[in-house]
Amino acid sequence: MLIFALYKAVPPDIAKVGTVGGILKREEAQLVINPHDVQAIEAADYMRRLAGGKVISLSMGPHQRVIPIANTLYDYEVWGVDEAYILSDRRMAGADTRATAYTLSLGIKKIIEIHEEAVSKLIGAIEENKDIGEVMKLAEELYNKNLIPNKIYNDKPPLKRYSLLERFVNREISREDLLNKLREHRESLRKDLILFLGMKAVDGETGNTGPQLSQALSEALKIPVAHATYVTNFSYDPDKKLVRVRRRIGRVIQEIEMDLPVLLTMRPEYEAPSIPLRRGRDVLLENYKGKVRDIKILNADDIKADLRAIGLVGSPTQVGPTIEVRKTIIKRILGRSIRILKDVEKIKIGDKEFGPYKKDEIITDPDKDLVKELVEKGFAKIYDYDDLADEIINILSRRERG
């Protein structure tokens, strides 16, 4: 089973929505994992321990900034992720939720195809009646690359004797049985699929990416990928390949059953339950060799993206005027800070350049020449007790209205 943990890299303090045509320059920002996606990592880890398989983390953004985050996920509680992919390309920049969902869906499809091609190589070698030594050597190579699970090949006891190739060597299954099992596994890579992500990103707050990704992935894989949002808990029936989901929307709690493949967006209060003591060997056979710490970068060409549907070009959303979603704490120094009274474009004083500034912006410790220039022209005033009192009254008024 392939288990995807999707996450977004976001600025730690401020996320700005630019003016029409503007984008957040993530390549210049210090980034951290979106807090809501922590539950996606935890849920993916739980699913792997419950059902077997491997956890693949996936994000989209400038890889130079995202790689440090991806590296931390290998050692995340409890087992961490097994592999990491990053979709990174300047042409992907500025994507809205629709363009993001489309790009992610192609990235997921590409990763699945990499695994399908590995199994196809093994099937081809057997169909060509290659020497069993060559087949085992190929299987070992694919296994070491983490592309086939223990149930197909394993070189260590006690699992070795249960692997398909070892059973074939020992004449416990026929060549045709082996080929049928390998074909079944190849087909299952798209069907036995589960994806997790946080319910929203703190720099967007739309909550749209999950449902849109479900639709985009259904189109990319040509099979229905169901989705459930605001998930607080879930369980998995390995025999029926059924996911039972509990989710909360406002005061409404729903319990639903879903066939794989499925995509779940997790609420912040999700906590992975304890693992039931059953299916131990079956889970281990579904697992892969281990962790691959060589983070793989995929660009738009690698995933065969339609350039008209990615990035800013493929984003129909019109972004409104600049707003601050999360605002850092700004100190006010009475008698020294200044308050901007009207919008100010960039201004040059001597060899120094300042601005631009927005109305009501506070500049904590401004340059003396800048203060003189702005105050004399009526563009700013020295921050005083009246300004402080006005801010306190506004804060209290907002609380009363809230």
H or E element: which one contains 186? helix 175-191
Environment class of residue 190 by beta-carbon count within 10 Å: exposed (0-12), middle (13-18) or buried (19+)? buried
* Percentage of the chain exceeding pLDDT 70: 89
Angstrom distance (rounded) from CA 107 to CA 299: 9
312 pLDDT band (50/70/90 cuts)?
A: confident
- DSSP state string for 209-277: HHHHHHHHHHHHHTS--EEEEEEEEEEEETTTTEEEEEEEETTEEEEEEEESSEEEEE-TT----PPPS
Largest CA distance in the chain: 93
Q: Tell me what pLDDT residue 330 has.
A: 61
Element (H, E) at 195: strand 193-198
Write down the pLDDT at residue 23: 53
CATH number of domain containing 15: 3.40.50.620
Q: How many domains does the chain have?
A: 2
* pLDDT tens column, 69-118: 999 999 987 889 999 999 999 999 988 999 999 999 999 999 999 999 99
Domain shared by 184 and 282, yes or no:
yes
Torsion of CA 305, 310, 311, 317, to 10 degrees: -170
Across the range 186-209, mean pLDDT stands at 89
pLDDT score of 14: 47
Kindly report the average pLDDT of the chain as a whole number. Answer: 88
Last residue of a domain, one of 276, 309, 342: 309
317 falls within a domain: no
Mean pLDDT over residues 256-283, rounded? 88
- Kindly state the percentage of the chain with pLDDT values over 90: 65
DSSP SS3 for 348: strand
26 — pLDDT class (breaks 50, 70, 90):
low
How far is C-alpha 140 from the geometric centre of its chain's CA atoms? 30
Among 309, 339, 356, identify where a domain stops. Answer: 309
132 and 202 together in one domain: yes
Q: Are residues 358 and 214 in the same domain?
A: no
Provide the pLDDT confidence category of residue 16 given band limits of 50, 70 and 90.
very low
158 shares its domain with 55: yes
* Structural domain contains residue 185: yes
Is the residue at 320 inside a domain?
no
Containing 113, the helix (H) or strand (E) segment is helix 97-127
What is the pLDDT averaged over residues 255-277?
90
116 & 186 share domain: yes
Nearest to 228 by CA among 270, 186, 189, 188: 270
- Domain encompassing residue 276: 2-309
Could you tell me which residue, 348 or 187, shows the higher pLDDT? Answer: 187
**Where residue 363 falls among pLDDT bands split at 50, 70, 90?**
confident
- Checking phi first, is residue 385 left (phi over 0); if not, alpha (psi -120 to 50) or beta? alpha
| 9-23, 50-64, 78-92: segment of lowest average pLDDT | 9-23
Q: Please state the pTM of the whole predicted model.
A: 0.76
Task: Say whether 367 sits in a helix, a strand or coil.
Answer: coil
